[in-house]
Structure 1
Amino acid sequence: MRLRFTGSNSGKNGCPAFYEDVDSDRIVVQGDAISDHESIAQLRSLEPGEAAVAVPRAVFADFAPKDVLRSPNFVSFDEFESMFTDFQHTAWRLETRRRYRSDEESEDYRRFLAGEDILLDPDDPWCASRREQSALGKRFERVRIVDEPPTMGQLYLLKNARRNSEVGEDIRNLWRADANRLTLPNEDFWLFDSRWIALLHFDDDDNLTGVEMTSEPLRVLRACQIRDAAWHTAVSFDVFEAGIPAEHKDTASLGTSAP
């Protein structure tokens, strides 16, 4: 191995210390060897040729390499759906896109374009699940980014928000100019329990193509910061909708506009 010294809290080259193997993704930890039999007996499956060392916790925080190359962890749509019942307290969503193909394929979207009310079906499995989880004290929250003027897809979501709110979701909206000022990312994700991120991937036709899950601490911390900034600045969907000029709400005039 070709080792690069990355840091130590015991002098320039003292123990304990961290090193990077410049030719691989391996890390070498230098510390006090654990040799007493009682401590070794507590280790799980220490194989011949392996050794254990002890280092202060602060050394990891200060000197362990932070840049990690990870392969994206994509999960099935079934696994993703299970997150909405398995989470413990909060499910928070950032929605940044100008349209969602799945919305446009729904009967609700057809009714919206026709100027009809979007109906709440109490027996719909999605609605029933949201009510059940909300009754357990769990919170579903969303911030939706809206362009000026809004796209047809964004106007649909504003109308649809009332149905979502009736089954326990708290939905707020934010103008894209304000989102840009807050340096919010142009990506959609769910944040579960401030621990797990579900990053949603879309193709060029606005179809959801995959869900990438991560619990990497730095990414989760950034997602929590995004949530706090967006939630603090956004306003409830009904207040937001009331502030949109009437000419920008006319689906008939917008029907031939770009999505």
Structure 2
Amino acid sequence: MTERPTFDELFASCRHSAIHLEMRDMYTPDDPVYLDWKAGVEIDPVERFRDWYDLIVRTVGRGVRVRRARIVSEPLTDFIRHEHEVTPRLNIPAGEEVRWLPRRRASDLALPGNDFWVFDNRLVRFGHFAGDGTYLDQETTENPEVVGLCTSAFEAVWERAIPHERYQPEMPLERAGR
């Protein structure tokens, strides 16, 4: 494994594509934006995630294709419902393409053990999280076998996943009125 470049550095050096696979049902449980959303506070995700939004706008503006796929359990956890509601107000306007894959449709896919980004099919950045979703750290590698594994896993998910605008998540029974 190599040094730990920042997202700004990784995206600045990216020329063609950045792909991201998310496979957890909970991230950053103490995130103030998530906690506000959960409390019913109206949020402006672009303002609250301005650095991320600007980074993606700059990256896509240079001609880099940015794709994000999320494998999710249904019914969705509160955190993933939050992500689903924020996506059309943050990720998509910034220029990301986002798709969703219900976990039950991913059972026959070979997937790496951690969430990851792949930049230009040459470098993988793994994110490590605790069981409760707390971010721990990251690691990067340019090992061609690892890059190939992650890229093929992402593409298999992407092919099956549902574009954000068409994805209708299964709601918990009390929310679906059943």
TM-score class, shorter-chain normalisation, is 0.7 to 0.9
Deviation of 1:112 (Å):
4.8
Q: Are 1:73 and 2:2 counterparts?
A: yes
TM-score w.r.t. the length of structure 2 is 0.85
- Residues 227 and 247 from structure 1, CA distance in 2 versus in 1: closer, same or farther, beyond 3 angstroms? closer
Q: Are 1:149 and 2:78 counterparts?
A: no
Runs of 4+ in 1 over 4 A off after TM superposition: 246-249
Q: Are 1:138 and 2:64 counterparts?
A: yes
- For 1:223, which of 140, 146, 150 is the aligned residue? 150
Deviation of 1:221 (Å):
1.2
Task: Note the alpha carbon deviations across 1:141-173, whole angstroms, 9 max, x for none.
Answer: 110011021111111111111121001111100
- For 2:108, which of 177, 181, 193 is the aligned residue? 181
Q: Are 1:101 and 2:24 counterparts?
A: no
Structure 2 gap ranges (5+): none
- For 1:197, which of 108, 124, 129 is the aligned residue? 124
Deviation of 1:127 (Å):
1.5
Q: Which is helix-richer, 1 or 2?
A: 2
Matches within 5 A, 1:56-95: 72-73=1-2, 75=4, 79-95=6-22
The percentage of aligned residue pairs carrying the same residue is: 26
Tell which deviates more after alignment, 222-231 or 112-121.
112-121
| Superposition CA RMSD, Å | 2.6
Q: Distance in 1 between matches of 2:160 and 2:99?
A: 9
- Residues 153 and 227 from structure 1, CA distance in 2 versus in 1: closer, same or farther, beyond 3 angstroms? same
Query: Are the aligned partners of 1:74 and 1:211 in contact in 2 as well (CA < 8 Å)?
Result: no
Query: Are the aligned partners of 2:117 and 2:124 in contact in 1 as well (CA < 8 Å)?
Result: yes
Decide which structure has the larger Cα Rg and report it: 1
How many residues in Structure 1 have an aligned counterpart in Structure 2?
176
Query: Are the aligned partners of 1:155 and 1:249 in contact in 2 as well (CA < 8 Å)?
Result: no
TM-score w.r.t. the length of structure 1 is 0.61
Match of 1:209 in 2: 136
